[in-house]
Amino acid sequence: MPTDSAQQETVLLSGASGMLGHAVATALEAKGFALRRLVRRAPSGTDEISWAPDAGGVAGPEQLEGMAAAVHLSGSNVASHRWSTAFKRELTASRVNSTRVLAETLARLKRPPRVLIAASATGFYGNRGDDALDESSPAGHGFFPELCAAWEAASQPAADAGIRVVHLRFGIVLGHGGALERLAPLFRLGLGGPLGNGRQWMSWIGEPDAVSAAMFALESATLAGPLNAVAPNPATNAEFTRQLGRAVHRPALFPAPAFALRVAFGEMADEALLASARVLPTRLLAAGFRFQHPSLAEALRAALG
């Protein structure tokens, strides 16, 4: 671990402007790492490197030589639009294409990073009812699981080059932004409630634990492959909405019927909002990871406090 400027190691980070990326950047700098951020515009300082994954890749890839690690967190928000054909292409490009470009670039370096931490999602598992799912469980069926599987496969060039690759399958991250930023105002107005019948499982993780999981994967030399970045206590949607209502001191009385969600959101309703994935952090726990907020009530209080 770097302790002074003479020993300081550098980490390449994509997606630094997002909620999770910003928090990871802060944690990396607190640990003593220097950061180089990948940005899709002209660099505004020496800590930024321009890249265009869909048109030319990284500008000056020699700038990446000798970095200790790469953390790849960029990607369009899956819930920001209805899943039209055009938006599906955007989701694929922002995740699969960008990961492939980065992995191929790192693989060609003379002094590649030791590790690539690449974001993925519990959407990999699809709609699996009450089944308990861990990293050994196969991918589900549908657009979202296929997207996640392709997303992870896109990093294979880095693995083939001997770089340790970790796929962090994030659940819903509860922090100052993201899903809670959209949900909390509705619940504070007393307008929140379960989605559909509320029996579908939601796999979540508090933002501090999501950041710690990324740091843990970065520093644990024996970890590679998929890693479920979720809390050890998944909740049904009904329990999640009940706990969120309690956290903002409002009852969660207004369920959203499944048919209305399908009308409003189309395919995304069944694959994201109504899908059930009871995902467990089996490999994280086996490796000795300790959660700061293992219970949903704790995580919500920390996020909304």
What is the tens place of the pLDDT at every residue in 17-34? Answer: 999 999 999 999 999 999
Task: Say what the pLDDT of residue 5 is.
Answer: 42
Tokens of residue 148, six digits: 């996640």
Non-local (6+) Cβ contacts of 186 within 8 A are: 192
Question: What CA–CA distance (Å, rounded) separates 218 from 69?
Answer: 8
Task: Say what the pLDDT of residue 1 is.
Answer: 52
**Angle (CA) 172 1 219, round 5°:** 35
Count each helix (H run) and each strand (E run) in the chain, helices first.
Answer: 12, 14
Instruction: Tell me if residue 116 falls in helix, strand or coil.
Output: strand
Instruction: Tell me if residue 140 falls in helix, strand or coil.
Output: coil
Would you say domain 10-304 falls under CATH 3.40.50.720? yes
CA of 257: how far to CAs of 188, 232, 263, in Å? 20, 28, 10
Task: Say what the pLDDT of residue 252 is.
Answer: 86
Q: Which residues of the chain have pLDDT under 70?
A: 1-7
Burial of 20 (0-12, 13-18, 19+ CB in 10 A): buried
pTM reported for the whole predicted model: 0.93
